[in-house]
Amino acid sequence: MAIKPQEVATEKHFLWHSYSVQQTLDTLVARKDGLSDIEATKRLRSYGSNSLPQARRRGPFMRFLLQFNNPLVYILLVAGVTMLFLGHSVDSGVILSVVIINAVIGFIQEGKAESALDAIRQLLAPTATVMREGLSRTVPVEEIVPGDIVHLTAGDKVPADIRLIHTHNLRIDEAILTGESAPVDKSAAKINGEVPISERSCMGFSGTLVSNGQATGVVVGTGADTEIGRISKLLTETTDLATPLIRQMSQFGRWLSLVIIIIASLVFCIGIWVRGYPFIDMLAAAIGLAIAGIPEGLPAVMTVTLAIGVQRMARQNAIVRKLPAVETLGSVTVICTDKTGTLTKNEMTVTKVITASHSVDVSGVGFKPHGNFKIQDRLLAVEDYPDMLELLQGGMLCNDASVQKVGDEWRISGDPTEGALITLGLKAGMKRENLEQNLPRTNVAPFESELRFMVTGHTTDQGRHIAYLKGAPEKVLEMCHMQRGLVGDEPLAKDYWKRQIEVNAAHGLRMLAIAKRTSSSGSFEHIDKSDDFVMLGLVGMIDPPRPEAIAAVSHCRSAGIQIKMITGDHAVTAIAIGRQMGFEGRALTGADLAHMDDAALSRAAHECDIFARTDPEHKLRIVKALQDRGEIVAMTGDGVNDAPALRRADIGIAMGLKGTEVAKDAAEIVLTDDNFASIASAVEKGRTIYDNIKKAILFTLPTNGGEAGMIIIAVLFGMTLPITAVQILWINMVTEVTLGLALAFEPAERDIMRRRPRDPRASLLSGVLIWRIALVSAVMILGGIGLYFWELNAGSSLATARTAAVNTLVIVHVFYLFNCRVISGSALNWAGLRGTRYVWISISALVILQLVFTHMPAMHHLFGSAPLDAGAWLRCILVGATLFLLVEADKLMQRSFKAGS
């Protein structure tokens, strides 16, 4: 039996790429003609199925029960059940309904979060072609075992991790593992030492796609022992973090629950032992006090605020999968972003054309054929430069890609590098169909990774044969003896070309050389040994940054947010793009990070902005290191390799256009345009949402404070309760569901993106806001009890006095709503008093509800209310206006104190 791949992995750190083909076959006791059926069966029993293991999950019932694991919910459940036994079915029904609705919402959200591992499993191919008993067979992918010989052709998914034995023109798209946009050339030659996955050119990895060529390889890892299996394990072990708001609300809920229980218990004891109230009456009063203290409508207001934020963000190309994630963006302090497709367009673009006489800059981004040619900022007409025309012509003819306009977009079919050359020719006004008509292709030597070039043969009307050569600059130079100058051919200046290659490659450009040969024969025999080509020139290309992303990075930095670029690309390319984005300093590579302990990595994660050649563990460690420093981290990604870090981050942001389903399922937000600029816009929306939730809390809590205060005063002074439990529920529901919801639609405050991110460790309510809640609660208590006694002293009934108290609390909230629209700024201006249409809709709805509550006979029966005269209504409005002016005066003093400090 072969040594287990798991054992080799443990001992050799997955260095299968450093084994020769024969060493690999010997280690696995495998042969090139395949395993026998008996041996394959034995290995299947020993190694297990070539599938990813499923993590244990909580069942639906347990997940639903856990939604009730909250101190405030416990109090509401006890209050709801107790009120039911006391015969207050309306109170009980309202309380229990709110609890159940919130539990259902949480249950649905958690269910969506468990699909990431299922998406990874769907990446595995259903069948594969292997050698068994010396014959080629198609077998289910689950039955593949280490030692199997696998055949791959273009379009196949690699069924397991494979050490390649033979390759022919093989290229594999490994973007899901490495993040690199271009397919990787593969060969069977071993690679020495520990190198990143992206540089293991003799390996094929499970779940990746063969884009070109054929190959044979031996399976070295299956199931959980593959690279994709390792990522699946990381994803299983990575836990979701609660959002800052959830953590703050949990802490707030625990403290509020404790305060409510202590105060309600004290009031109950005082009522029984000091005031001598009957036990049942005091139990109802204590429950009423508990209900008064709990903001029942706040969860609904928060949910609606988040949902409205989701709709607004969707219009900005950001789809939110998990509701609480909306506000997390508002507290983000660091954004770790992928390079390819997020900061850049993921479209190779030629930015430099070099001939023997000139170095030309080319403008334009992506495959859209719009751009100019410049020499030192001076526009030039390409048609005046025959040497450059011939270079561009060679790039278009020695090419198998095509670029077409589909709707408003230009799309490529074929290799991105070749697509960039087509776009370059189109920018110069060339038409490929005309070129191909004048110089029809008669022969081709396709690109092979071993040769590193491609050649196409063409025939002129005079019967002459032209060959265009395109490939790696070093290889093309070896095949040239002349170069094309302005007036004709001249001797090759190798030092000049080598210097141009080095200088431009150091700026992150991917260099490609193009040459030409004219002959009487169209034969390509031994063309790799030729040295009679004429060097036409070089083209330098890069995946350039999006202009809007550059502005968005600057915008985020002005808002106090750090940006970290983490990519699988080469360090030189990463630095080149980073400079254009405004990043400073050097790049740290995955190899650098592998030798750092946690303390060193923590410093590096804070100080460095560019990380290159990273793998999934590196990304995960960077995110954890930043979180350990107290940062709130957003992570962007599109590949399977990004999924663990996406899940670990405080908020994961996946790419919607080119992202894998695994990345989308591990993330909380999906960008429909794969554009970093959409993240910056979403951050602004997230901050606005958090502001609006804070305003809703600031608006809601005085209601509870005022109601609870009135009950406490009544019990302490032996008074009849000025409001009943059912009236408390009415106030809570109508004010929070109407006026409270209006705050969910508030627009962003003017300075929102000039503030620094909020401290995630800071309390939900500052001392200033707690003072304001106390001030408003005190006015409500004094106003409510004051008008309650006013009506009693005027000879009104108890029902009328209580109705006056209820309407006082409600009308005070109408005025207080305008105070809350701006947390610290002044509302005494036209914009503040005008409000939004949602403010006036909610006020109108509330007025109607209060008129119904006060004057409809059926409501008199349900809630113990009674009609009020015009004088009573006027006094209620006067209390509300007084509160509005007091709060604005308090804001003014706070602003003056802050300005003077």
| Identity of the residue numbered 112 | K
Q: Which are the contacts of 355, defined by CB distance < 8 A and separation ≥ 6?
A: 385, 387, 388, 391, 484, 536, 537
Q: Which two tokens stand for residue 584?
A: 């400073």
Q: Which two tokens stand for residue 91?
A: 């109170």
Active-site position among 161, 225, 338, 415? 338
Q: Strand, coil or helix: what is 162?
A: strand
Q: Strand, coil or helix: what is 225?
A: helix
Whose CA is closest to 830, among 818, 838, 820? 818
8 A C-beta contact, residue 509 and residue 362: no
Q: Which two tokens stand for residue 427?
A: 């920018």
Measured distance CA(484)–CA(391) in Å, rounded: 9
8 A C-beta contact, residue 196 and residue 590: yes
Q: Which two tokens stand for residue 321?
A: 């999968």
Measured distance CA(84)–CA(81) in Å, rounded: 5
Q: From residue 343, how far is each of 346, 791, 868 by CA, in Å?
A: 9, 67, 64
Q: Which two tokens stand for residue 117?
A: 């591992």
Measured distance CA(391)–CA(337) in Å, rounded: 37
**How are beta strands 149-153 and 135-140 bridged, if at all?**
unpaired
Using alpha carbons only, what angle is made at residue 318 by residues 316 and 322, rounded to the nearest 5 degrees? Answer: 140
Whose CA is closest to 235, among 648, 594, 612? 648
**How are beta strands 378-379 and 373-375 bridged, if at all?**
antiparallel
Residue 831 CB coordination number (10 Å) = 11
8 A C-beta contact, residue 469 and residue 517: yes
Beta bridge partners of residue 161, listed in sequence order:
221
Beta bridge partners of residue 408, listed in sequence order:
none
* DSSP-H helix ranges across 616-750: 616-628, 643-648, 661-666, 676-716, 725-734, 741-742
For 522-557, give one letter per residue: b (16+ CB within 10 A) or e.
Answer: eeeeebeebeebbbbbbbbbbbbbbeebbebbebbe
φ, ψ of residue 719 to 5 degrees: the values are: -90, 160
Using alpha carbons only, what angle is made at residue 730 by residues 104 and 876, rounded to the nearest 5 degrees? Answer: 145
Measured distance CA(356)–CA(483) in Å, rounded: 7
**How are beta strands 209-221 and 149-153 bridged, if at all?**
antiparallel
| Identity of the residue numbered 362 | V
Q: Where are the beta strands (DSSP E) in 82-160?
A: 127-132, 135-140, 149-153
Whose CA is closest to 830, among 37, 821, 52? 821
Q: From residue 111, how far is each of 67, 103, 385, 669, 682 by CA, in Å?
A: 12, 12, 63, 16, 24
Summarize the chain as % helix, strand, coil (round to 5).
55, 15, 30
Q: Which two tokens stand for residue 725?
A: 């439990």
Mark whether 531 is an active-site residue: no
| Identity of the residue numbered 415 | D
Q: Strand, coil or helix: what is 666?
A: helix
Whose CA is closest to 131, among 39, 203, 221, 42? 39
| Identity of the residue numbered 271 | G
Catalytic residues: 338
